[in-house]
Amino acid sequence: MDPRLGLRVVHKRYVAAVQAHYAGNLVDGAFALGLFGDVATEICIRTDGDEGLFASYSDVQFLNEIRGGDVVEATGTVVRVGRRSREIDFVALVVCRGRPDLVASAAEVLIEPMVAVRARGTVVVP
């Protein structure tokens, strides 16, 4: 069994208000994909000592909104190792949510993190 299988990398990021692009303080879906790219880069560095290149997504599901003021946890797990390719499952969870309905700076930790985006992607390394 390849020791790279199951490698998991987690990044957390605060979503600044300036990231909100749509009404209702919503952030565009590309924000999560950018987080996945950062996670994939770290995975490639850890598995192969190179930043690698993102080749494709085979599936992307936008399940819930990400808003300015949220804290998002992006996770990538290696699920397949080829000669030069690595397939990765990604999840973006909202773990904290801004509560501007209470006070402009209010926020709360979500008891149950909310799955915002799931994806599967392939990276290649030299």
CA distance 121 to 56: 6
Please give the model's pTM, rounded to 2 decimal places: 0.94
Per-residue pLDDT tens digits for 10-65: 999 999 989 998 988 899 999 999 999 999 999 999 999 999 999 999 999 999 99
Q: What counts of helices (H) and strands (E) characterise the chain?
A: 1, 7
Burial of 126 (0-12, 13-18, 19+ CB in 10 A): exposed
Given a cut of 90, is residue 100 above it in pLDDT?
A: no
Number of neighbours of residue 104 by Cβ within 10 angstroms: 10
The residues, any chain, with a CB within 8 Å of residue 47's CB and separated by 6 or more, are 4, 7, 78, 81, 86, 125
